[in-house]
Amino acid sequence: MENNIKNHTESQSRRENRADTYGSRYEDKNRRQSTGRYAGKSASAFSKKRGSSIRRQKRKRRKGRNAGRKAVLLCLAVFFILVIAVFAGMHFLGRSGQENVSGSQGILSFLSSSEITDTVPDVTVDLDSLYSPYAVLIDKNTGTVLGSKRSEEKIYPASMTKILSVWVAIENISDLDASVTMSADYYDALYAQNASQAGFEPGETTVILELLYGALLPSGAECCMQLAIEAAGSEEGLVELMNQKVEELGLTQSHFANCTGLHDDEQYTTVYEMALILQAALENETFRTVYTTHYHVISATDVHPDGFTVWSTFFKNVADEIVTGGEILGAKTGYTEEAGLCLATMAQVGEREYILVTAGWSSEDVGSYHILDAFAGYNLLGEALGLGEESTGVES
């Protein structure tokens, strides 16, 4: 019995030892497998995490580069805006500072033709041979004076005044296609002063745009008076706006007392400042269109059912507008006994446009000497530029 118990006890001990041995081996095996398996997973996870971090860094670098490019483009845009603002400021400051002819620059043109270059030809034109005692020739784009003759002395502008009155009226009338009825209030005064008229009758209904042609081409005083009413309520109102415009242009030797050009001792300017007024007015597209028209057919009205034609007082007196190397594009004449014959023209000679203003020719023989001077002045310019033979367009 005791032997059996002893044997049983020994067998139990051997089984427990084998179990402990197998258990330790199993645990070691499981530990090795577990360590290897999770170690692999940890390495893989680390690798993936590192790759993700690299990609994030690359994305940040790309975003940084893009942000840098945007910043550079923004800086460039701001720079160009500042450059434009500086040039615009120089334009207005330069325009307001014009007080003498020598070396002065006129009103800058931002809307000049793409065919016109920025370099003014280095030429000087002697205008002493012209009939008119007062004359000035300027480059239309820059205002550079190319020739002058007593150009800063006081003159009376006569109907050259209509250049300013029509331009200011255009700027202050919102609808040029609106209908208007000619007032009867000013006709008696115009008749009494023998003012030139386009042909509109008191009470006649027309379109405001037609009055622009009537004022500039045949120099119709009744058109100016009606434009004054439409633009400012009265002639006095328009005259106030005209003098404000003169101040805006920085002109110090000009003053206007009426919108028609009829003589008034308090209405005066110089040929140089008249040239600058025309230069500025030509920047208005509507004004330029009307000013450069040779003739215009007024639309039918209640008084003129067939309409009627108005002619430029300049172009109706010339055979053609050709000058040496170019042509005269537009003109506004003027005459009173006190002012003499006056003329403000614009011509293209070569690739540029120029303005010539003459005034003051007065003699017993009141011929077309102001027109002769226009052709002579531009022909002298063409010759100075080496563009060809002299030409004259005055009718015999």
Summarised one tens digit per residue, pLDDT across range 313-356 is 999 999 899 999 999 999 999 999 999 999 999 999 999 999 99
What is the reported pLDDT for 367?
A: 75
The whole-angstrom separation of Cα 331 and Cα 310 is: 14
φ, ψ dihedrals at 205, nearest 5°: -100, 130
Confidence label for 119 from pLDDT (cuts 50, 70 and 90): confident
Of residues 347, 394, 338, 329, the one with CA closest to residue 367: 394
Q: Which residue has the higher pLDDT, 59 or 17?
A: 59
d(CA 275, CA 309): 28
Residue in 148, 180, 169 with CA at minimum distance from that of residue 284? 169
Residue 185 in tokens: 């209030």
Q: How confident is the model at residue 46 (pLDDT cuts 50, 70, 90)?
A: very low
- Report yes or no: 291 and 316 within 8 Å, Cβ to Cβ: no
Task: Indicate whether 162 pLDDT > 60.
Answer: yes
Residues of the chain above pLDDT 90, percent: 65
66-113 per-position pLDDT tens digit: 666 666 667 677 776 776 766 666 554 444 444 344 333 344 344 444
Write down the pLDDT at residue 333: 97
Burial of 122 by CB count in 10 Å (0-12 exposed, 13-18 middle, 19+ buried)?
exposed
> pLDDT value at position 105?
39
108/96 Cα distance (integer angstroms): 11
The pLDDT value given to residue 110: 40
Is residue 374 a contact partner of residue 392, using CB atoms and an 8 Å limit? no
pLDDT of 42 reads 47
What is the rounded distance in angstroms from the CA atom of residue 284 to the CA atom of residue 330? Answer: 14
- Residue 14 confidence class, pLDDT cut points 50, 70, 90: low
Burial class (CB in 10 A: 0-12, 13-18, 19+), 249: buried
- For position 55, what pLDDT does the model report? 60
Q: What is the mean pLDDT of the chain?
A: 82
Strands 145-149 and 179-181: unpaired
3-state class (DSSP) for residue 342: strand
Query: How many Å apart are CA 117 and CA 93, to the nearest integer?
Result: 22
pLDDT for 94 equals: 47
The CA distance from 384 to 287, in Å, is 30
Predicted confidence (pLDDT) per residue in 276-316, tens digit: 999 999 999 999 999 999 999 999 999 999 999 999 999 99
| pLDDT value, residue 388 | 79
Distance CA 372, CA 251 (A): 28
What pLDDT, on a 0 to 100 scale, did the predictor assign at position 17?
53
Mean pLDDT of 161-189: 98
Q: Compute the distance between CA of residue 386 and CA of residue 372 in angstroms, rounded to an integer.
A: 21
More confident residue, 22 or 323: 323
